[in-house]
Structure 1
Amino acid sequence: MTESDSSHGVSDAFLDHLDQLARQDGGSWWRDVLLRDDVFLAVRRNSLNVYYRGGSIFRIDDRGDGTASPKTHVKYLVRQQQALAELVDGEFRPNGIGWTHYAGPETLRDMIRAASDLAGAEKTGLHPLIMGSPAVVDVEIALGRAQESEINGSTTDGPASSAKRNLDRLDVATLERQGTDIAVVFHEAKHFTNTALRARSGSLAVVDQLRRYRLTLLHHVPALIARYQAACRAIVRFDAMRRHVRLDVGAGGLLPPDPMVQEVAAGNAVLTIDPNPRLIVFGFDADQKKGQLQTILNALKTADPNLAVYAAGDPSSAGGAFRPPAKQ
């Protein structure tokens, strides 16, 4: 990977180091991650995020020399067992409530359970759609000023709260064949109960949100192309690591990356950016589908006739969320 490429993804040295961790005898935290079927590895600039239901249970940074520095938020280190903290002289004295060292798959399972407990309805509902599609190449995609800083290779100045105020996130990016090219397509997911789907006065908030995303995507097309070319190369490497680890333990059942990912990684396809985000609405029952949902869909169609919307009552059994929309 060239220096220019690594500014949009992770370096070959970093991937080589992760590959060494995957091949270590006796196990490692990275091997445990690779053995999970329910986490998503998202490529960032000089780092990775390991996501479960929208929660980043690991952020894995490149220390600058190609070696990995894994970090997690303390909220994911709660031990999933009954433990009491004694209150003595106004001070709580915890007894085995949180993990203080990595103790193998048990620790990772507790981290994932903590992330599950903290996930809201939208991230929980979207998760099976993400894990069920090999065409997904990114999740929790930063847009706005934070995205601009990442693309330009700088860091956001000011406190974290300021950075968050300038940050928008699209939920999912997938690959899709569009003519002879392969396009990166972006998706925003909303639970049926989300108020952004309903107009109390003026325009629909979700339509305004997607229009804002479109402008940002158009502004960053060249950098986004480089970002997802780098991401696809890394995804292919992760797949090889996963297969090696699973072979070691006699596990199978791993879906291969989508052929489009492999084509982009090998440089055998022209990659483009589709600047028109699509909307996924889910979490409604049969009665709501006939009533309130139809009202929402009609309002969306009126507000933006070109908006592609996919509606799935039960996302755990929906298979078409990331397919190209039917032509009108």
Structure 2
Amino acid sequence: MCLLRLHHGLAARYSFKSRAHFHRYFSSSRVYNELTPFTRRLFKLPSPPSPPSQQHNDLTTFLSYAEHESLPVTSTVHVGTHYEYTVLQTLRRYALNLNRIGGRDDAGIDLVGTWHLPERERERALRVLVQCKSLKAKLGPNIVRELEGTFNQAPVGWRTDQTVGVLVSPREATKGVRDALARSAYPLFWMLIERDGTLKQALWNARAEELGLGPLRVETRYTTSTEDAESGSVSKEVVLTWDGSDIPDMDQVEQSLTEFAEKWVASWGLDLTEPQKGELLDAAERVLPHDISAQLVESAIPDADRTRVLQALQERLQQQPAFE
């Protein structure tokens, strides 16, 4: 039997919470605490492809670029790019670390990244492929087939059995789209994100649930901001939660991963440069048994093996005077 978890403003399976003076938080820039290549390697996170533009890498820099180039706000490029960056920024709140790759050779993929849900923050982060459909026209089930096709054309590092596809649109999913999602053999999500970044609907299929996403839920929260307190008006928003608790945002995840990586290096009793940290990883992966090297973050490394790794690192560094 097909399963489709449907969560939106009209669903009856919601948890409702009222909070006074609640403010939605969005990261102002995706490079606020960007993970270093070493940290990505340590946690086995794929490196994103090159961006399609060197002039902008987030919503703020794109708006500056668009103003400088006098790009019409109603143009297809402006509307589409603005929406992609808005989605990227919104989903950081739910621990999705996304990069824009949309361009001539994007194979239909607009954003790629990793999803660091609780219990999956480190080496088990999900891979994510995102298509943004910033269209006014009604969307049909054909867009689900298009998303399924991206799995075989995904960048290196995203062709895994732990990859999910996400369709994002400012419109609600039609019955045809919902049925296509439910039938799909791929793990798929649908999210309705308005052009201002407000999440209004989220649904996913049984295949996605099988990836260990049972604790993922959606809540509707009624909030009163400081500005609305006098008028008594109440705002409604949809939020993703994990096992009944808020999901740490991507800024928090990046800080946690960075701190863990620093502690991991310090545990070797060494003061290393960034290139030397990479050499340490090389030595560990080369010397340690596979069952340990495959899970360096979680494994307890015996003293004898640690000594062997340090010896291999020392030999390697002695061959590279530039590091000294």
TM-score (norm 1): 0.36
Structure having the higher helix fraction is: 1
Q: Which one has the largest radius of gyration?
A: 2
Which structure's relative contact order is higher, taking Cα pairs within 8 Å and 6+ residues apart? 2
TM-score (norm 2): 0.36
